[in-house]
Amino acid sequence: MKEILPTKFLAVPRVWEKMYEKITEIGRSTTGLKKMIATWAKGKGMEHNMKKMNGAGNYETLSFKIANKLVLSKIRTALGLSRCDLCLSGAAPISPDILKFFMSLNVVVTEAYGMSECSGPHCMATGDSYRLGSVGKTMVGCTTKISSPDTDGNGEIVMGGRHVTMGYLHQKGQTEEAIDEEGCMRTGDVGRLDKDGFLFITGRLKEILITAGGENIAPVPIEDRIKREIPAVSEAVVLGDKLKFVSALLTLRTEVDPETQDVKDTLRPVAKEWVEKHGACSVTTIQDVLKELDEKKNKKLKDAIDEAMVRVNKESVSQAAQIRKWVILPQDFSVAGGEIGPTMKLKRKAVCEKYADVIANIYK
């Protein structure tokens, strides 16, 4: 990127997360006056971009210009983003915390949304028109409808426009299921439109969990909260479909082989630091962490995760949506392992099949 200096850059969330992890890793080793200046500059960058996002008039302040010149521009140059005027994330959900971090560096990462069935993009946010957590506004020539919205305005997203496929070749049944009588595409995604026309994705119809008690639960917001509260967690999978309570499978952030992209057992610095900070004396691998928990050596570490789950549960829409149990899996998810796809989307069914014994043990 530093060689090519792109003017437009689109990446899946995992790429932005890796960049975030590397920058924060460098930031942890910075101390003294240098750290104070960097913290001040990032504060000015965040203030500038939040004002810009909310349409405040006076966001080009002198203090921001100084912070940008002295610190923020140098970080963008180091990332190879010095010429980039459009930074996009797509193909899977990205954490709002990652977006806020880049905003503080004056790198506004916005989101795009679409499907192969609509020739790629359908909605897009730009650096001049965006909202945190939104995939942007419907592109010119396209239409977005929310089918059967609930009281919060959430319903299935339906795409319309000449960019939408006419159907699936030689698959009449699948075509009739996906394309409505007006030629619009039923996406299977759940979302809402705000008063300004920004689209927010809130879940997948197929991913809605229906507990044994009949409660409908959207797992993605809960999974995002878990990852926010426990930075060591790479993936969280909320369980509860046809089950008597809600639980979660967790994976820890580990190193990845740069050649094969296979996940290793070695913890990433962010995971190692969090685990050690919350009770473990010295850990290097996931196995070290599991040993600490399995042998009940480390009550402090278990309590720290339990306390994080209490904070997650405080934001639950109902008591039925609260996490009751959690388990840390022996390795992170990967494409090779079959738990995630090439665009880093979670394959929920594959995870449940692969770890069926673990899940059965939770509900035993």
Tokens of 97: 């915390």
Percent of the chain topping pLDDT 90: 55
Largest CA-CA distance found in the chain, in angstroms, rounded: 66
- Residue 119: phi and psi, rounded to 5, are 60, 25
- Which of the pair, 311 or 263, is modelled with greater confidence? 311
Euclidean distance between CA atoms 25 and 143, whole angstroms: 42
Euclidean distance between CA atoms 275 and 364, whole angstroms: 28
- Residue 223: phi and psi, rounded to 5, are -65, -40
Note the pLDDT tens digit of each residue in 11-22.
Answer: 988 889 889 888
Euclidean distance between CA atoms 212 and 216, whole angstroms: 10
- Residue 9: phi and psi, rounded to 5, are -140, 120
- Residue 114 scores a pLDDT above 70: yes
Query: Where does the chain have alpha helices with state H?
Result: 13-28, 32-53, 62-67, 73-79, 96-104, 172-178, 219-229, 269-277, 286-294, 299-314, 348-354, 356-362
- The residue written with tokens 């880093």 in the block is 344
pTM of the predicted protein model: 0.74
Predicted local confidence at residue 239, as pLDDT = 93
For domain 111-207, the CATH superfamily is Luciferase; Domain 3 (2.30.38.10)
Lowest mean pLDDT among 102-116, 158-172, 202-216, 262-276: 202-216
DSSP per position, 21-70: HHHHHHHHT--HHHHHHHHHHHHHHHHHHHHHHTT-S----HHHHHHIII
For the stretch 36-41, contacts whose Cβ atoms lie closer than 8 Å and that sit 24 or more positions apart, written own/partner, are 37/70, 37/71, 38/71, 40/67, 41/67, 41/68, 41/70, 41/71, 41/72
Residues in the chain: 364
Note the pLDDT tens digit of each residue in 270-302.
Answer: 888 899 888 767 888 999 888 888 766 678 888
Task: Express the helix, strand and coil content of the chain in percent, nearest 5 each.
Answer: 40, 25, 35
Predicted local confidence at residue 135, as pLDDT = 93
Domain ranges of the chain: 8-107, 111-207, 209-362
φ/ψ region of 119 (left if φ > 0, alpha if ψ in -120 to 50, else beta) reads left
| Domain 209-362 CATH assignment equals 3.30.300.30 | yes
Whether 185 contacts 118, CB under 8 Å: yes
Angle at 154 between CA 318 and CA 110, to 5 degrees: 105
Predicted local confidence at residue 293, as pLDDT = 83
Predicted local confidence at residue 185, as pLDDT = 95
